[in-house]
Structure 1
């Protein structure tokens, strides 16, 4: 392994350790010593990569969104639906994975929905930047659906990308409430995929 690879690996280890601590304990309750200890490195080594605890947070947020993308898209990440039914079925699976994420890793969603926005404006902008990246990927899916004839060719693809992002956010919010407001997982899945079909589907 080259020196550059070792440096990158150590940085990744620090980010992973910080991510785990932030998701389980919250950003404000941890310090640089906690991160270094969890990563198995010295206090001084931390400062070879980051200026302070706040400096590593941007990398933690990026890591968090990468993780969410992997969990929510799962094996469907590279799928290319060829019909409106397959398109909606894909998002039905994504919606179900939102519920799994909240059940298995509540700290991830709690951090993004509750804590992150209260830290500073940089955090909000970082989260929005990552969200826009997902919306950009969604636009490509819409373009493919339009080219294959099952999505409405007259829709604004940028707005459609935002709609697909909003579906995920809605599912995550509903999952955190765990059906306490009468919105069960089945109901949320059915209504959101039905909305996608009517809002984006090509007219018969």
Structure 2
């Protein structure tokens, strides 16, 4: 995954640096993304990132104080990409049938799979209680859940149910995200399509029953 950074590059000491340094910072972020696709975040060291980027640890420390800081930049890119998830699922406003619900499931699963290496690292740091990555995960879930929230409001759920649409949307999207993260492990119970159809059915039934 290519990391597109925006704005001026800022060194650890606070200096705003130019385009060449911005390219170096981006190369370091790209290197971390590449490494995440093949090994756990906890095993990645500064020297690994520097070597992958074709530079030195000293250069890494000009832009990041730790590997976690570099992960924050990578995670920021994923958050930016999540805006397309919100717009892509805007058609979910008519959820009520299996076709619409399955599209919602497929779009979320597609996003999670595209960014699975980074999301896995975000989840690991969030599970450790790192508030920076707890916030990142919350932002990703919010982006994924917003279309469901809007869909339920448009269908009048807020007017006919004591359950707040945002709460139900949050519960459902958390379930979907967890299933997307562990989709490969579902092979012991059934096929990928069966899993996604089951989740789509849950979406429809939960919204109808609320």
Query: Do Structure 1 and Structure 2 share a fold, with TM-score over 0.5?
Result: yes
Contact 1:178 1:184 in 2 (8 A): yes
Tell me what 1:52 maps to.
66
Contact 1:23 1:107 in 2 (8 A): yes
Gaps of 5+ in 1: none
Distance 1:126 1:184, change over 3 A: farther
> CA shift at 1:116, angstroms?
4.2
Gaps of 5+ in 2: 1-7, 9-16
Distance 1:179 1:108, change over 3 A: farther
1:19 paired with 2:24, answer no
Find the partner of 2:139 among 133, 144, 148: 133
Find the partner of 2:90 among 79, 91, 94: 79
Distance 1:40 1:70, change over 3 A: farther
Structure-1 separation of matches of 2:196 and 2:77: 27
Find the partner of 2:173 among 165, 189, 197: 165
Tell me what 1:179 maps to.
187
Distance 1:132 1:42, change over 3 A: same
Tell me what 1:152 maps to.
157
> CA shift at 1:194, angstroms?
0.9
Distance 1:78 1:169, change over 3 A: closer
> CA shift at 1:196, angstroms?
0.8
Q: Aligned ranges for residues 112-123 of structure 1 at < 5 Å?
A: 116=125, 120-122=128-130
User: What secondary structure is seen at the aligned counterpart in 1 of 2:55?
Assistant: coil
Contact 1:174 1:188 in 2 (8 A): no
1:42 paired with 2:92, answer no
Structure-2 separation of matches of 1:70 and 1:143: 15
Distance 1:176 1:143, change over 3 A: closer
User: What secondary structure is seen at the aligned counterpart in 2 of 1:192?
Assistant: helix
Structure-1 separation of matches of 2:66 and 2:148: 41
1:92 paired with 2:105, answer yes
* Aligned length in residues: 190
Tell me what 1:196 maps to.
203
Distance 1:29 1:132, change over 3 A: closer
Runs of 4+ in 1 over 6 A off after TM superposition: none
